Chain A
Amino acid sequence: MKPDSTSSCGCGKNACSDERPDEPSQVRRSLLGVAAAGLAGVLLAPGVRLIEIAQAATPGVATTGANPKVRWGMLIDSTKCTPGCNACVVGCQTENGLTSQPGPTDTQYIRKIEIKEIKTGRTASLPMMCQHCADPPCVDVCPTGASFKRADGIVLVDKHTCIGCRYCMMACPYKARSFVHEPITNQKPDVPRGVGTVESCTMCVHRVDRGEQPACVVACAAAGYNAIVFGNLNDPDSEIAKRVAQFNTRQIRADLNLDPGVRYQGL
């Protein structure tokens, strides 16, 4: 039988849709089946090729990287820290280009906390910032690996791969992270930031890599308190290592066993 050019569906069978109601639905089912299988494949194996492309290194660019033998840390002597003094906070804001009068949606890398022991009434004042944990929960939970720990213990956020899910903010027991809620202008060249991404104290990594002290440490010393000591915890000859060995210091929420790089004295 010759194909009938007048058939409406083009299958060559005259009025097939009227006489054989099953066929179009079979075709549709087959098409749907193929589509479903294809989509399932796509969904089950997301972007294997894309992973290769995205993770390809830039050729010809060599970096020295952070020194794994170093563990940068800070020791904060709360007996030298004065209530009402905000020098470290101002130093941080100036260095990193942060707003000086932060509201609830503004970033704070470092903040002053006043604490009072409920039973005894004893008070203390201290700065709180990213504690640069050895086992950082923010790094554990980050889906893309944007939250990462350098080999020298500094915990950072890769602004290029942060998708702004804020899971790290949920995970941090120190509430050390902020989310950039609106577009930013007049950024500091050393401290790239971006709307829709999460950020926190970088331990002034740009200064540390130049061999300088973090801005809060410098500001505290300039204010005459010298309450913050910065250095290499792994170097037994460093001031911080000696003081940590000599005095009774503590890590905040030590019960969580995160091994923060920031320690406190006199609490």
Chain B
Amino acid sequence: MKIDLRQLKGSGPAYYLLLAGLLLVTGMGLGAAWHMEHSGHIVTGMDNQIVWGLPHVFAVFLVVAASGALNIASMSSVFGKTAFKPLAPLSGLLAIALLIGGLVVLMLDLGRADRLIVAMTHYNFKSIFAWNVILYSGFVGLVLAYLWTMMERRMNVYSGYAGLAAFIWRLLLTTGTGSIFGFLIGRQAFGSALLGPMFIVFSLSYGLAVFLLVLLAISLGSARPLEPGMQARLSRLLAIFVAASAYFVLIYHLTNLYFAKQHGLERFILLDGGIYTYLFWLGQIVLGGLLPLLLLLHPRTRGHSSMVLLASVLVIVGGLAQMYVTIIGSQAFPLDIFPGYSISSSFGDGVVAAYTAKLPEWLLGLGGCGLVGVIVLLAIRNLAFVPQRLDRFPTEPTGTEAAH
């Protein structure tokens, strides 16, 4: 089947309204970053106990979702599921947009964002962060090359190789992101080899949720109905990824619950950690896990676009809650400097650290999301990323998948 990719033409006022809204959000994020840069991090809710705040929650979520958004392209190029081929360019576009959005937030939250050139010229190769600088820029480069091989007919023959390289790179990238936390010895919630693979599984779920959200929005906004079979496949895939994420979370907590030294941390997250306990159970588990599974699998809801859309939004909300618990909850829980002792000091030792994100942090985090939207909207309007028709997809050569 010939795949016909086209720019979105004849977009109505809704397109421009959305673009204007996203530009405004992005602009406000940049303004917040300028304010933080000008006045210092004193204008945020962060302090010497909670050193990574809400911007990191957004940034890490976007970076993790970026590698996951490449799923669909990998399904066609690496795993031979040709039905997904028409959606592969959009998948690559989203991967790049999400990564740029996340990186911009991460960069603008630096104490010295003006020293980006230092970060690009001084490398400590023992640092996971330094690896990530290379992994992130390499990912954008590889996915761009991959998009080129997909969208330039002369280069189509190399598409499989580029897709495989991008797939391997995305696994490395998310291992690197998870290892930012996994390779920390000081904090009880981290320091586990599980975090690398767990972040990969999270990325599959978050990235596909964002992809589905964008795809359904395009389908709705440009009056191109999505083929029910494709929607069903993507929904099932999302359900599998959500379940796999829940499995990793279960193993992570079971392991901690088995070790007596981790009981305090587990009690904090699971029972009496206030906002972190609520966000874990209500945000990560119920809204981000159980409810989407129900919507995606229940016979009465699974066929409806609106329910799939809702499930995708919930997975994203749950993902942000997960990042909040993982990144901020782990800092709020006091460091165990003297195991077996209760401790107190003028520096917040022995007590749960308080943190409330302030407006500049919200604006910066949301600004990163706005930037993702702006990139995607401009790209699909001006370049041929979206299939002309979403109501028919190539059939699989084996025939087995087509039966689903």
Count chain A residues whose beta carbon lies closer than 8 angstroms to a beta carbon of B: 74
16 contacts between A and B (CB under 8 A): A47-B120, A51-B123, A104-B348, A105-B48, A108-B347, A113-B345, A116-B343, A117-B341, A163-B115, A169-B51, A170-B52, A170-B331, A181-B40, A181-B42, A194-B112, A196-B110
Name which residue of chain A comes closest to B128, CB basis.
A141
Q: Which of A44, A140, A165 contacts B126 (CB 8 A)?
A: A140
B70 at the binding interface (Cβ < 8 Å): no
* Contact flags B106-123 to A (C-beta < 8 A → 1, else 0): 000011110111111111
Decide if B216 is an interface residue (CB 8 Å cutoff): no
Q: A170-B52, A179-B48 are in contact. Are A29 and B152 (CB under 8 A)?
A: yes
Contacting residue for B346 out of A108, A161, A165, CB 8 A:
A108
Contact A143 B133 (CB under 8 A): yes
Query: For the complex, is B76 an interface residue (Cβ under 8 Å from A)?
Result: no
Nearest CB of B to A156, in Å: 14
Which residues of chain A from 9 to 63 have a CB within 8 Å of any chain B CB?
Answer: 25, 29-30, 32-33, 36-37, 39-44, 46-47, 50-51, 53-55
Q: Is the CB of A114 within 8 A of B344?
A: yes
Contact status of A137 and B186, CB under 8 A, knowing A37-B145, A145-B123, A164-B111: yes
Q: How far is the CB of A124 from chain B (nearest CB, A)?
A: 9
Residues of B that sit less than 8 Å from A by CB: 37, 39-42, 46-49, 51-52, 110-113, 115-124, 126-130, 133-134, 137-138, 140-142, 144-145, 147-148, 151-153, 155, 180, 183-187, 331, 335, 337-338, 340-349, 383-384
> Are B111 and A197 interface neighbours, CB within 8 A?
yes
List the interface of chain A (C-beta within 8 A of B). 25, 29-30, 32-33, 36-37, 39-44, 46-47, 50-51, 53-55, 102, 104-108, 111-119, 128, 137, 139-146, 161-167, 169-175, 177-183, 194-198, 252-253, 256
Please give the distance in Å from A264's CB to the nearest CB on chain B. 10
A174 to B343, CA, bound (A): 13
Known: A116-B341, A162-B111. A111 touches B347 (CB 8 A): yes
Q: Using A171-B185, A179-B41 as known contacts, say yes or no to A50 and B120 having CB atoms under 8 A apart.
A: yes
Contact, CB under 8 Å: B347 / A163: no
